[in-house]
Amino acid sequence: MLGGHRRRAPVTLEQPAATPADATRERIEADLQALTTGSRLWSTLDLAQRARLLGRLRDTVGAAAEEWALTAAVSKALPAGSPLRGEEWLSGPYTTLTALDAAVRTLRALAGGRSPLDGVRLTDAPGGRIRAHVLPAEPIDRVLLSGFRGEVWLEPGVTRAEAIAAAGLGQRTPTDAGGIGLVLGAGNVTSIPILDVLYELLSANRVCMLKVNPTQDALVPVFERAFAPLIELGLLRIVHGGGDIGAYLTQHPAFSHVHITGSAATFDAIVWGTGEDAARRRAAGEPALTVPITAELGGVSPIIVVPGRWSDADLRFQAEHIVTMRLQNSGHNCVAGQVVLLSADWPQRGAFLAALRSAYAAAPARTVWYPRSGETLAAVAASYPDATWSADGTRAIVQVDRDADADPVETTEYFAPVLGVLTLPGTGRAFLDAAVAHANDRLTGSLGANVLIDPVTEAELGDGLDDAIAALRYGSIAVNAWTGAMFTIPGLSWGAFPGGTPAHVGSGIGVVHNARLLDRVERSVMRGPFRPFPRMIPGAVRGRGAFTVLPKPPWFVTARTGAEVSEGLTRFRADGNPLRLAATLTKAFGA
């Protein structure tokens, strides 16, 4: 135990009781009638009208942004004045506003007879793939995301002509109604359910019933105001309740499609049922669900630390980076970094581990709020009696045995503040290849992977880094960034690496976000600066490393001005006031 602390069970917020089933079901039937009418209405709107509707929607989202962020912060027990409240601005209304802006650009391009890929550079990627360079997408990205670049990689064999011709998905045939979709919302990040609804509407012309997770019940009135333009036209209905309501909805004949963000266990219960009935259905190949389903289900995300020659400042900054990957939203993220892969032969391994342990223990205290987190931490304590605990026993670092057949931290998505550390032999390309193989073959899931590599080592590898990215079987890959930041960038896709099926779902089936509505997406890749401003200047001058004007990103859990900067960025997204942006960027340098 670190510092002699006894491990203390986290606080878990008590969830409100489910709405009485009979009353909710009556409302559901009325809502389905409204959605049936809404589906017909959506098919009559041309692309320009749809773009204007989404423009109205961004106004109502902007008007509700403060209430949205503050309600979410209170529900997660973040105290007033905490810099961590910035997470709820960024991952809620900010991300939704950027997604709406990107969707409007796509609709306007299609309405003007252009492809959403017009003006996007397409280049070759390893393995017979092409990649679309979608970030920066607009001039302001060069400021707000200075030094970051993003690519969508398409499946092997897709040609440039095919990519351009297919871009737009359902909006290429807007009069084809997609019926009514059911979206079962996530409970951890407040924009997830709404972004899933938006993708259903645009990619497949499906109007939606959204069932929110009970952890977000307090936000339902906010959502109803923020998304009033969709609700008024019968394009969206929002319901809440417990598992009985979810079970009723998934078996309702009105739905043509189901999308879920959640756990593989919940997915399997929807598709196959439970208990002996599930076993029988699996054996017979007769799922309980009779309509198509897509899903995002999380996994165990690796953080591959490529050995190099790092300064003391590099060690501290990247340690804080990893701590953010694990502790943002108190670790309740489907792409929270969970297993750090280090080189056993890196001369700086000991110094880096010391910096990592120090940063992990010193990160701001916060409530471990997601339901059943206490059970998770108790299981970790039982599996790892030698774990290092900090923050009054609510976060742990565990050493992973690379020779174990099934180490729990590698096979269980903990969804709590638990970080594993594992060493592999080698340096340079040998280490990188070993780390990629370990991530692919030993870690559960295929949603997100992170790679940290200094510019000099990257240059020494030549094409080795691109080859490693191609070999990683993950749907989102961040290089010198965190895949969680990719979630906020609408032009990038979000979802598991292709290959999931209802019988073997892994991290899920299909993608969302993907604002340009590209077809046959395999993965998205984001690359960021290894060093923040101003430490990156010497390397950038020599052509080594990305240039950025950004200091510590506001999403770092150690950013002292994270709440102020995140609120300012959200308000700027809503009103476009350049003076507000200038003031916000000034505050960012106080992080």
Which amino acid is located at 447 in the chain? L
Task: For residue 17, give Cα distances in angstroms to 72, 212, 241, 282, 524.
Answer: 19, 14, 8, 33, 39
Residue 249: the pLDDT is: 95
CA distance 428 to 436: 12
Question: Could you give the CA distance from residue 196 to residue 513 in angstroms, rounded to a whole number?
Answer: 7
Architecture of domain 28-296: 3-Layer(aba) Sandwich (3.40)
Identify the segments of the chain with pLDDT beneath 50: 1-20
Predicted confidence at residue 13, as pLDDT, reads 37
Ordered DSSP codes for 169-187: GGGGSTTS---EEEEE--S
Dist CA 134 CA 84 (whole Å):
29
Under 8 Å CB-to-CB from 198, ≥6 apart: which residues? 99, 100, 103
Residue type, 375: E
pLDDT at 544: 77
pLDDT tens readout for residues 559-570: 999 999 999 999
Q: What is the per-residue pLDDT for 16?
A: 39
Instruction: Report CA torsion sign: 483, 487, 490, 496.
Output: positive
Q: What is the DSSP string of 477-530?
A: EEESS-HHHHTT-TTSEEEPPTT--SSS-TTEESEEE-TT--SSEEEEEEE--S
Residue 7: half-sphere exposure toward Cβ, Cα within 13 Å: 24
Phi, psi of 35, deg, nearest 5: -70, -35
Domain ranges of the chain: 28-296
State the greatest distance between any 2 C-alpha atoms of the chain, in Å, as a whole number.
68
* DSSP conformation class of 291: S
pLDDT of 21: 62
